[in-house]
Amino acid sequence: MNPDLQQLHPYPFEKLAKLKEGVTPPSQLEHIALSIGEPKHEPPAFVLQSFKDNLQRFANYPATKGMPELREAIARWATKRFELSMPLCAEQQVLPVNGTREALFAFAQAVVDRTQNNPLVVSPNPFYQIYEGAAFLAGAKPHFLNCTADNQFIPDFDSVPDSVWRDCQLLYICTPGNPTGAVISTEQFQQLIQLADQFDFVIASDECYSELYQNEDTPPPGLLQAAKAMGRNDFSRCVVFHSLSKRSNLPGLRSGFVAGDASLLSSFLQYRTYHGCAMPVPNQLASVAAWNDEAHVLANRDAYRRKFDAVLNELNGCLEVSRPEAGFYLWPKLPISGEAFAQKLFADQNVTVLPGAYLSREADGINPGANYVRMALVATEAECIEAARRIRQCVQSL
């Protein structure tokens, strides 16, 4: 077996299941899960109808590159959403993928040159665990940049030593951030692009939460948008990852895309052709319908805003927590460890949250998630409000 498999950590939800072992929550309380970031809002009916209407297309082998109409729908959406003065090239700068999780992992396998000395994959901390696993299996070492309240949960890129940038081959960023909801600014994106030019590394921007934001007037900027503002029409060293899972409440469709530097995507397509991960044709046609519509996305944002309003009203004065810029998570700071709180909350109130330490690693002497938990506001509004009331009771009992 590949010895790098031995470096993989248990997934956060494996750790959570172990934490809950032997704990019996009160049977009179219905369980409410705020632990997994799986959208529970209704998927758009017209997308499901498109899928049903094209079931016979399962008889066709799909192309790894995706159907032209899907690539064109994605290019139109991204060009408009990120105000790109020159449209994305659907033929060379867009590649459909089976959700961002698969693509984020596979991208590192195609990009990292394991023959170089000390190859690094740099990522924020806390982070999406796929980044770490992708680094290990690509023959690289993960290097973590702590995201704390002191730096507004955005890595302090100025403090990263040149020695790290020199060994960096791939930088993962997540904006809006999981779990904090922090948004990287255009200026910070451009700083990273300049660093990538100077030290010759690739930027992989995970933007799968980009369409869940609080203020309709200020949608989160994207990496390609920042590159375009610098006159970088080729998006050199820049690749973005987007998904329909959160935007359109379609996590089971496994549909997203990668876009940016055409030379990188050409090599990534070659890798994917051998990897055997083409998106089924009915999924592609349903995805076209989803990318072509914004009304359901606006309604989705409104639903999350209502939940944030209600839950934060219930938690006011109870926890050190604030409304994130984007995403659907709360990231409250706790008076005790996140593990202890998550276990007590489940035992006392039958509510499940995810300890922040499970989403981060110790770096520079700290685990930046140790005294936090992640709460995913994905349940119904009524369930989220009830969960918030139980959380208040749990905090008051500490």
Per-residue confidence band for 234, with pLDDT thresholds at 50, 70 and 90: very high
pLDDT at 27 over 90: yes
CA of 267: how far to CAs of 32, 111, 112, in Å?
A: 44, 9, 12
pLDDT at 208 over 90: yes
Inter-residue contact 139 to 4 (CB < 8 Å): yes
Cα–Cα distance measured from residue 83 to residue 90, given in angstroms and rounded to the nearest whole number? 16
pLDDT at 276 over 90: no
- The 3-state secondary structure of 184-204 reads CCHHHHHHHHHHHHHHCCEEE
| Mean pLDDT (whole number) for 357-380 | 96
Cα–Cα distance measured from residue 199 to residue 14, given in angstroms and rounded to the nearest whole number? 37
Enclosing H/E stretch for 215: none
pLDDT at 86 over 90: no
| Mean pLDDT (whole number) for 257-281 | 96
**Six token digits for residue 19:** 């934490």
DSSP 219: P
Rounding to the nearest 10 degrees, give the CA dihedral for residues 320, 356, 14, 109.
140
Confidence (pLDDT) at 79: 97
SS3 of the chain: helix, strand, coil, percent, to 5: 45, 15, 40
pLDDT at 94 over 90: yes
CA of 269: how far to CAs of 1, 65, 132, 258, 348, in Å?
A: 26, 7, 22, 10, 50
Helix (H, G, I), strand (E, B) or coil at 228: helix
% of the chain beyond a pLDDT of 70: 100
With a CB cutoff of 8 Å and minimum separation 6, the contacts of 196 are 171, 202, 203, 237, 238
Helix (H, G, I), strand (E, B) or coil at 146: strand
Cα–Cα distance measured from residue 315 to residue 242, given in angstroms and rounded to the nearest whole number? 32
pLDDT at 361 over 90: yes
Q: Which amino acid is at 360?
A: S
Per-residue confidence band for 54, with pLDDT thresholds at 50, 70 and 90: very high
**Greatest CA separation found in the chain?**
60
Confidence (pLDDT) at 3: 93
Domains of the chain, by residue range, sit at 3-42+296-396, 56-293
Q: Nearest to residue 145, comparing CAs of 158, 135, 133, 155?
A: 155
pLDDT at 237 over 90: yes
CATH topology of domain 56-293: Aspartate Aminotransferase; domain 2 (3.40.640)
- Residue 151's Cβ-count burial label (10 Å; 0-12, 13-18, 19+) is middle
CATH topology of domain 3-42+296-396: Aspartate Aminotransferase, domain 1 (3.90.1150)
Confidence (pLDDT) at 85: 85
- C-alpha dihedral sign at 66, 72, 76, 82: positive
Neighbours of 362 (CB within 10 A): 14
Enclosing H/E stretch for 6: none
Inter-residue contact 320 to 333 (CB < 8 Å): yes
Q: Nearest to residue 363, comparing CAs of 140, 148, 195, 162?
A: 148
Per-residue confidence band for 324, with pLDDT thresholds at 50, 70 and 90: very high
Q: What is the Rg, in whole angstroms, of the alpha carbon atoms belonging to the chain?
A: 21
pLDDT at 298 over 90: yes
Q: Nearest to residue 330, comparing CAs of 303, 353, 358, 351?
A: 353
